[in-house]
């Protein structure tokens, strides 16, 4: 009985912690994408208590996935078996941690400081490095990574 009560309480806490992934409204998608076409990566958004998470699936000719977690506490811990590669994501420098799985899938992840306390944990997966690079080139054009944030209104 006690175990089932604990499980129920944990399930309730987790269910209120974040909404499930949902497609963005046309207005929200346009603000998120800026100049990027909505036909190159299909996006969903999850809103948590202290983060926003965006999941993208690349559309042909690219193939692969990208996940962007924006919040105060990134979950990333580098894998000791990964190789590091320095690069950029828009106007931000980033150190990528790259690993190839036994099935050939390439995973690449990095963390960068966006502003003040906000950090971005971004990870990508694809079968080809050219797809990873193509997705990074697209994500680098998103306003999140090309513009400073708008000030918070006093009203």
Q: What is the mean pLDDT of the chain?
A: 85
Read off the pLDDT of each residue in 10-28 and give the average, rounded to a whole number.
Answer: 64
In the chain, what are the domain boundaries?
Answer: 19-146
pLDDT, tens digit (0-9, with 9 covering 90-100), for 1-12: 444 433 333 333
DSSP 141: T
Backbone angles phi, psi at 40, to 5 degrees: -100, -30
> What's 19-146's CATH class?
mainly beta
C-alpha distance from residue 87 to each of 15, 123, 126 (Å): 36, 14, 18
Over 90: is that where the pLDDT of 19 sits?
Answer: no
Read off the pLDDT of each residue in 113-142 and give the average, rounded to a whole number.
Answer: 94
Q: Per DSSP, what are the bridge partners of residue 74?
A: none
Over 90: is that where the pLDDT of 104 sits?
Answer: yes
Q: What pLDDT does residue 154 have? A: 45
Spatial separation of the C-alpha atoms in residues 86 and 84, rounded to whole Å: 7
């Amino acid at each position: 009985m006690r175990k089932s009560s604990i499980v129920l309480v944990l399930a309730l806490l987790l269910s209120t912690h974040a909404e499930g992934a949902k497609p963005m409204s046309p207005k929200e998608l346009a603000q998120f994408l800026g100049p990027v076409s909505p036909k190159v990566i299909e996006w969903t958004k999850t809103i948590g208590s202290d983060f926003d998470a965006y999941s993208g699936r690349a559309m042909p000719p690219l193939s692969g996935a990208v996940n962007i977690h924006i919040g105060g506490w990134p979950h990333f811990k580098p894998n000791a078996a990964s190789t590091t590669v320095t690069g950029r994501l828009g106007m931000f420098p980033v150190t990528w941690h790259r690993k190839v799985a036994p099935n050939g899938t390439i995973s690449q992840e990095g963390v960068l400081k966006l502003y003040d306390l906000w950090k971005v944990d971004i990870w990508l997966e694809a079968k080809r490095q050219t797809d990873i690079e193509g997705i990074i080139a697209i994500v680098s054009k998103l306003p999140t990574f090309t513009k400073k944030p708008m000030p918070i209104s006093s009203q």
